[in-house]
A and B are shown apart, each in its own frame.
Chain A
Amino acid sequence: QQQVKQSPQSLIVQKGGISIINCAYENTAFDYFPWYQQFPGKGPALLIAIRPDVSEKKEGRFTISFNKSAKQFSLHIMDSQPGDSATYFCAAIPKYNFNKFYFGSGTKLNVKP
């Protein structure tokens, strides 16, 4: 059973548009929520991360919004570019064991020129 549910499975956005990927969880012990970006043929790479004590974190065009009460968090990519085309994974790490990672199922983003 997937502990972190991610949607949509795939996403097509026009260049300059906003890409939004959503994740939801049930386990209230999750304490850290990273997002990873994966290009074809490569391993995932950390993009941005957030802790549940803040509602938003922004790094350049990438923003995480976090809703602790709803147990949901989302990645927003502003001014999406063709170079952002990749697969994105959300993840969650529990406070009782920060060695365990639970990933979402991934979202394949295609930004059309």
Chain B
Amino acid sequence: EAQVTQNPRYLITVTGKKLTVTCSQNMNHEYMSWYRQDPGLGLRQIYYSMNVEVTDKGDVPEGYKVSRKEKRNFPLILESPSPNQTSLYFCASRRQGWSTDTQYFGPGTRLTVL
């Protein structure tokens, strides 16, 4: 089954404790992206990757890092989480090259930073 998986699905942590949210896709997509969803703000793009070792900033990259060492994986790293990073996070993937291709989203990771 074609899918985007994220782990963990729920995470409660404390300020300053480094964490990683994993994202994996099995569709051989070149493009992957991270978003955060907040009430009243919709989804905002954090980072995206066009292929292995190629990443770029989205609209809200501050406080986040990403890496793309393998085509199927695109982890999101919060090196020193703060309460304003409490949010619902989505990973997505798509074939690179065409804006009209469907972007597939993962199930989401709900992060709470205390």
Contact = CB atoms under 8 A, between A and B. Distances in A.
B52 to A, nearest CB: 15
Contacts, number: 58
A78 to B, nearest CB: 23
B90 interface: yes
Contacts of B76: none
Contacts of A41: 107-108
A99 B35 CA distance: 13
B84 interface: no
B42 A49 contact: no
Interface in B76-114: 90, 92, 98-100, 102-103, 105-108
A26 B106 CA distance: 30
Contacts of A2: 41-42
B40 A31 contact: no
B74 interface: no
A102 B90 contact: no
Nearest to A1: B59
**Range class of the B interface residue count:** 20 to 34
Interface residues of A, number: 26
A106 B42 CA distance: 5
A105 B99 contact: no
Interface string A79-113: 00000000001010100001111111110000000
A105 B40 contact: yes
A89 B44 CA distance: 12
A6 B90 contact: no
Interface of A: 2, 6, 9, 31-32, 34, 41-46, 49, 51, 89, 91, 93, 98-106
Given A31-B99, A43-B92, 8 more contacts: A42-B108, A43-B105, A51-B100, A89-B42, A91-B43, A98-B99, A103-B43, A105-B42
